[in-house]
Structure 1
Amino acid sequence: MFCFREMTTVEDTGNGVRRRILAHGGKMMAVEVSFDTGAVGPMHSHPHEQLTCVLSGRFRFTIDGETYDVATGDTLYKKPHVLHGCVCLEAGALLDTFTPQREDFLR
């Protein structure tokens, strides 16, 4: 029930992007993703519902063909199977919440 940051590990996914699984269980998962300026979250889709909260920095997100710049405090919703991706405009971090869990992140 308690997930302490100091007990999590950071995975370098390459190209200026790092991922930290904060908590998971049941049907939910919380993941912090850190980006260097200019790093790209490539366009992709998956069967999970996803909420993304911008913890810090600025990003240009494209979701289902719509593109907007977002910043600290903004939140985005992504339906299952919808194409989405981002470019980091100013180094920062995102909090992604998925349901169901991203089993591919746990391998």
Structure 2
Amino acid sequence: MAKQSPVSESSAHLDLVDALPVVAESTTSRVLVTNDVMRIVQFTFDAGEMLTEHTSPRAVAVQLVSGRMRFTVDGTEHAMGDGDIIYLAPGASHALVAETACRMTLVMVDVLT
């Protein structure tokens, strides 16, 4: 897991395809950035892998870097392909099923109140 870093500290995360390969019959993840306002996580999914329905108290942006998946938000299913992005409002229920091997980046942002 990435160590907590100050918001004022820049970082680079390179060669992720090699560092986080798709593993057969698995879902894998790596926390890239975590600080007081943001968390960035990269996931890989083999075909058929899924995340069951859940919610997050944070605002979330999901970008499918490569592959195809079905991503459900508040009961509405979206067919995602390379480069597609979905925004999740805080508390939105969501789930996914990878149709092919996939690489996805998730950005969670704390909501200012």
- The TM-score range, normalised by the shorter chain, is 0.7 to 0.9
Gaps of 5+ in 1: 101-107
Residue deviations 1:53-77 (CA, integer Å, cap 9, x gap): 0111100010011101101110001
Aligned to 2:102, which of 86, 92, 100?
A: 92
Report the equivalent of 1:67.
77
With normalisation by structure 2, the TM-score equals 0.76
Which 4+ residue blocks in structure 1 deviate beyond 4 angstroms? Answer: none
Aligned to 1:44, which of 42, 46, 54?
A: 54
Q: Equivalents in 2 of 1:33, 1:41: separation in Å?
A: 11
Q: Equivalents in 2 of 1:80, 1:93: separation in Å?
A: 23
Aligned to 1:2, which of 8, 11, 26?
A: 11
Report the equivalent of 1:30.
40
What is the root-mean-square deviation of aligned Cα atoms in Å? Answer: 1.6
With normalisation by structure 1, the TM-score equals 0.80
Counterpart residue identity of residue 47, structure 2: T
Larger radius of gyration: 2
Give secondary structure in 2 for the equivalent of 1:2. coil
% of aligned pairs identical? Answer: 26
Gaps of 5+ in 2: 1-9
How many aligned residue pairs are there? 94
